[in-house]
């Protein structure tokens, strides 16, 4: 088994950069502890990056996860200031990847699994990420990633009903919905909000029946709207992906 989670107590200051299609998340970690997080549009990257660099001159290393960085030449800007790791599917990770097509596995899912290894070593963990899509990823107590599932996310479901029908309106998501919708809008809310919550509940129950002492992590931008009852084995963590990227950076420092 890989020995990957025994780092020195002091690992320095890192900058984690996670760039999506429209926005960028940055996080500063010191000794594996998140001390500052920012979210801004990618057009503001240069200004915000310079602010962070000046505020934290102790930063020496950075990890970048993005599908758009080459487009804006931001990676070269980061390289002028720090040692940079460009995270991709071939980056060494602290778990055994059993996915049948690892080259197609999303970088966000890889980072989430790494975070599960970091926070819940030697435990069965199901990570649920409620973003553009809802992803389910399973890490075993033997630190093996088996795979999971992908289903349409909250916004995608509302937009698809509106786009692929003639008369259904585009409805604004709400945290709660009546079981019985008494208007078309309320019926859409019931179908989507309650449908996703039932999906979450059923999926957790199915995984729990196969993997004992299962820990569930609930994260992602829509995790608050799709809130589920937090039991002793269910944890909400909005920074789980950023923590995973930082852990991957630290893991590769030891290689």
Any idea which residues carry the catalytic annotation? 108
Is 132 annotated as ligand-binding? yes
Is 18 annotated as ligand-binding? yes
Q: Classify 249 in phi/psi space as left (phi over 0), alpha (psi -120 to 50) or beta.
A: alpha
The b/e string for 25-59 (b: 16+ C-beta within 10 A; e otherwise) is bbbbbbebeeeeeeeeebeebeebbeebbeeeeeb
Is 24 annotated as ligand-binding? yes
Please, which residues have CB within 8 angstroms of residue 221's CB and are 6 or more apart in sequence?
Answer: 130, 131
Is 184 annotated as ligand-binding? yes
Largest CA distance in the chain: 60
DSSP 8-state assignment for residue 69: H
Residue with tokens 């992908």: 150
Q: Residue by residue, what is the 3-state secondary structure of 198-249?
A: HHHHHHHHHHHHHCCCCEEEEECCCCCCCCCCCCCCEEECCCHHHHHHHHHH
Is 22 annotated as ligand-binding? yes
Is 47 annotated as ligand-binding? no
Is 107 annotated as ligand-binding? yes
Is 23 annotated as ligand-binding? yes
CA distances from 171 to 154, 165, 184 (A): 11, 13, 10
Is 16 annotated as ligand-binding? no
Is 163 annotated as ligand-binding? no
Is 122 annotated as ligand-binding? no
Is 88 annotated as ligand-binding? no
Residues that constitute the known binding site: 18-25, 99, 106-109, 129, 132, 184
Residues that constitute the known binding site for K(+): 129
Residues that constitute the known binding site for substrate: 99, 106-109, 184
């Amino acid at each position: 088994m890989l020995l990957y989670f025994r780092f020195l107590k002091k690992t320095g200051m890192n900058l984690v950069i996670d760039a999506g299609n429209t926005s960028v998340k940055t996080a500063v970690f010191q000794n594996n502890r998140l001390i500052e997080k920012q979210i801004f549009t990618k057009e503001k990257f240069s200004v915000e990056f310079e602010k962070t660099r000046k505020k934290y001159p102790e930063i020496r290393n950075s990890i970048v996860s993005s599908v758009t960085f080459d487009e804006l030449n931001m990676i070269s800007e980061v390289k002028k200031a720090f040692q940079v790791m460009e995270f991709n599917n071939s980056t060494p990770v602290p778990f055994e990847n059993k996915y049948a097509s690892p080259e197609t596995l999303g970088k966000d899912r890889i980072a989430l699994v790494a975070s599960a290894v970091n926070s819940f070593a030697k435990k069965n963990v199901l990570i649920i990420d409620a973003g553009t899509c809802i992803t389910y990823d399973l890490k075993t107590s033997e630190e093996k990633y088996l795979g999971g599932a992908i289903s349409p996310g909250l916004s995608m479901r509302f937009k698809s009903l509106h786009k692929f029908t003639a008369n259904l309106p585009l409805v604004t998501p709400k945290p709660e919905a009546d079981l019985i919708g008494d208007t078309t809008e309320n019926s859409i809310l019931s179908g989507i909000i309650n449908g996703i919550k039932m999906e979450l509940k059923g999926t957790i129950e199915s995984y729990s029946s196969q993997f004992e002492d299962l820990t569930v992590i609930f994260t992602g931008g829509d995790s608050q709207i799709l809130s589920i009852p937090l039991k002793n084995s269910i944890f909400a963590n909005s920074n789980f992906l950023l923590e995973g990227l930082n852990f991957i950076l630290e893991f590769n420092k030891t290689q």
